[in-house]
A and B are shown apart, each in its own frame.
Chain A
Amino acid sequence: MREDVLRINHVTKKYGKTVANQDISFFVDDGEAAVLLGPNGAGKSTMIKCITGLLRFEGDIEICGKPNKSLEAKRMLGYIPEVPAVYDLLTVEEHLEFIRRAYRLEDDGYAQRLLERFELWDKKDKLGKELSKGMQQKLSICCALLPRPRVAVFDEPLVGLDPHAIRELKEVFRELKESGTTILISTHMIDSVEETWDVCHIMMNGAFAATRKKGESAEQSLEELFFAITEGGEGGAV
C-alpha cells in the first residue's frame, strides 16, 4: 500500500487582505508526480513556498508524516525555486561541496555526475555571479538533487533553460519517478509535464478549480480543460 508522502491539510495563505491560497487540501502518494497547473497569479508558487516552509500559513503540511518546518522533513525535501538563488562568491563545485557538507553526505561522485549531466562540469571553477540565469538554474537543480531527496519540489523549473537542459530535466523527472521519489511541479506550461504527471491540479484564484488523474477517462484533454477553466471562467469537473 502506498503512503502519502506529502499531505496538505486546509492550507490558507493571505497577504494582507489578498487571499493567495484558500483552504487547499491535497496529498501526493509515494513515487507519484503531482502538478500544480495554473495561470500567473493562481497561487501555485505561494503553495510551493508554504510547503517548503518559506511562508507562514494557516493549516498543516506534512512531509513523510513530519511537520514541514521540522528538520526531519527538511532533510527529505529538495526545492528548486523559480528564481535561482546561488552564492555569488562560491564556484559551481564549491556549491555542491557546501551542500554535501550541510547534508553530511559521502563523496560518491554523484556531484560530478550531476554537473556533467547538466553540462556544468567544464564550468566548475566559475563563480555563481559569473553564470547565466539558465546555468544558475541548472546549478540550483544539481544542488537540490544532490542529497537524493524523497520529495522534490520544482517551481517553474523549465523557465530560462536551453533545449538540452529541458530534455535532461524531463529525463531527470522520469528517473526520479522510477526511483520512487515523489515530485511536485508547479508550472503554467502544460506540454512541459505531459510525460511526467500522475495527478494534475488546475489552480485558479488561489483554489483548485479541477483535479485530473492520469488514465482517467475524460471528454476533455488536460489542455482543453485548462483553457476551459482559465479562459471560459467555468469550473471544471473535480
Chain B
Amino acid sequence: MKPLRYLAFTTMKNRLREMVKKPARLIYAIVLLALLVFTMIGGSHTGGVARITAWMS
C-alpha cells in the first residue's frame, strides 16, 4: 500500500502546485467548492424548515 499512498499523495501535491501556477484552474476549483458548500447549507436549511413545518402541523 505504501507505493500507492506515495502515488496518491504526490499526484495531489503536484495537482495543487499546478493550480497555484495556473490561477484559472484554482478559481474554477474554488467556484466548484463554493457551489458545493452553498448547496449543502441550502439543502440542510430547507430540511430544517420542512421539519419545523411538520412539527407545527
CB-CB contacts of A86-108 with B at 8 A, as 1s and 0s?
A: 01011100100110011000000
In the bound assembly, the distance between CA atoms of A26 and B18 in angstroms comes to 48
A90 close to B2 (CB less than 8 A): no
Q: How many residues of A are in contact with the other chain, CB < 8 A?
A: 10
A127 close to B14 (CB less than 8 A): yes
With A89-B15, A89-B18: A102-B3 Cβ-Cβ less than 8 Å: yes
B33 CB within 8 Å of chain A: no
Which A-chain residue is minimally distant from B15 (CB atoms)? A89
| Chain B at the A interface: SS class | helix
A98 close to B7 (CB less than 8 A): yes
B15 close to A101 (CB less than 8 A): no
A197 CB to closest chain B CB (Å) equals: 35
A101 partner, pick from B3, B14, B18, beta carbons under 8 A: B3
A101 close to B2 (CB less than 8 A): yes
A87 close to B3 (CB less than 8 A): no
B44 CB within 8 Å of chain A: no
A98 close to B3 (CB less than 8 A): yes
CB-CB contacts of B1-12 with A at 8 A, as 1s and 0s?
A: 011001100110
CB-CB contacts of A120-132 with B at 8 A, as 1s and 0s?
A: 0000000100000
Return chain B residues, CB-CB under 8 Å to A127. Answer: 14, 18
Which residues of A, 63-122, contact B by the 8 Å Cβ criterion? 87, 89-91, 94, 97-98, 101-102
Return chain B residues, CB-CB under 8 Å to A98. Answer: 3, 6-7, 10
With A87-B11, A89-B11, A90-B11: A97-B6 Cβ-Cβ less than 8 Å: yes
Which A-chain residue is minimally distant from B18 (CB atoms)? A89
A91 close to B6 (CB less than 8 A): no
Which B-chain residue is minimally distant from A103 (CB atoms)? B3
In the bound assembly, the distance between CA atoms of A87 and B3 in angstroms comes to 14
In the bound assembly, the distance between CA atoms of A159 and B10 in angstroms comes to 30
With A89-B15, A89-B18: A94-B10 Cβ-Cβ less than 8 Å: yes
Mind listing 25 A-B residue pairs with CB under 8 Å? Answer: A87-B7, A87-B11, A89-B10, A89-B11, A89-B14, A89-B15, A89-B18, A90-B7, A90-B10, A90-B11, A90-B14, A91-B14, A94-B10, A94-B14, A97-B6, A98-B3, A98-B6, A98-B7, A98-B10, A101-B2, A101-B3, A101-B6, A102-B3, A127-B14, A127-B18
Given contacts A91-B14, A127-B18, 20 further A-B contacts (CB under 8 A): A87-B7, A87-B11, A89-B10, A89-B11, A89-B14, A89-B15, A89-B18, A90-B7, A90-B10, A90-B11, A90-B14, A94-B10, A97-B6, A98-B3, A98-B6, A98-B7, A98-B10, A101-B2, A101-B3, A102-B3
Residues of A at the B interface (CB closer than 8 Å) are: 87, 89-91, 94, 97-98, 101-102, 127
